[in-house]
Structure 1
Amino acid sequence: MRLLLNIIWLVFAGFWMALGYLAAGIVCCLLIVTIPFGIASFRIANYALWPFGRTIVDRSGVASVLGNVVWIIFAGWWLALGHVITGIALCVTIVGIPLGLANFKLIPVSLVPLGKEIVPAP
């Protein structure tokens, strides 16, 4: 079932989201100071491609908390808002409900990506 959901997700939402996160990662990697944000964006792009069967584990420390505050101010809030809007739009149809829930699953990592690790779901 996870494979089927991931394929449907990839075709209808995941590919375009991953492209957006890849573009953001490339822009973030232009400056040396923002490279950690670029790496986090690449990690989210990977997660956005294939979200079913994986989960997020918190591994935060002091540096990641400070970085997440900066991320929320400049990028996190609009990324999370985009996932909320897209998730609500997908939940309008019965077929789109699992995809909408996957969008809601991406909100925490898009809001505060530093100090998060994406691991296979148990």
Structure 2
Amino acid sequence: MGLLGNILWFIFGGALSGLSWCLAGLLWCITVIGLPVGLQCFKFAALSFFPFGKEVRYGGGAGSLLLNIIWLIVSGLPLAIEHAVLGCGLCITIIGIPFGMQQFKLAKLALMPFGAAVY
């Protein structure tokens, strides 16, 4: 079921979500200082392309908190708003609710990506 969900997800919005994370990663990778942030974006782009069957666990410490604050100001809000709007649009129909829930999972991740691990 996860494979079918991932295929449908990629066709009906996952590609757009993943490309948004890739664009953020490319912009962060322009500088050497932003390289770790960009690599984290690419890791979450893979999750955004195929999210079904994967879980995000949050943790981290003071370093993660500092990076999350900088991330939120620079890139996090536009990505979170994108995922939240797409999630609301998908939840209009009963069939779209599982896809909307995945968008909401990605919106939370867009707000706090550092200290998060994908399983």
Q: Output the TM-score relative to the length of structure 1.
A: 0.92
Identity of aligned residues (%): 37
1:49-88 aligned at under 5 Å gives the runs 49-88=49-88
SS of structure 1 residue aligned to 2:57: strand
SS of structure 1 residue aligned to 2:55: strand
SS of structure 1 residue aligned to 2:118: strand
Residue equivalent to 2:23: 23
Which letter maps to 2:118? I
Aligned length in residues: 119
Q: Distance in 2 between matches of 1:16 and 1:81?
A: 14
Give the unaligned 5+ runs of structure 1. none
Residue equivalent to 2:113: 113
Q: Output the TM-score relative to the length of structure 2.
A: 0.94
Q: Distance in 1 between matches of 2:35 and 2:100?
A: 30
Q: CA RMSD in A?
A: 1.0
Which letter maps to 2:54? R
Which letter maps to 2:81? L
Q: Distance in 2 between matches of 1:99 and 1:57?
A: 19
SS of structure 2 residue aligned to 1:51: coil
Which letter maps to 2:12? F
Q: Distance in 1 between matches of 2:75 and 2:26?
A: 14
Q: Distance in 1 between matches of 2:55 and 2:71?
A: 21
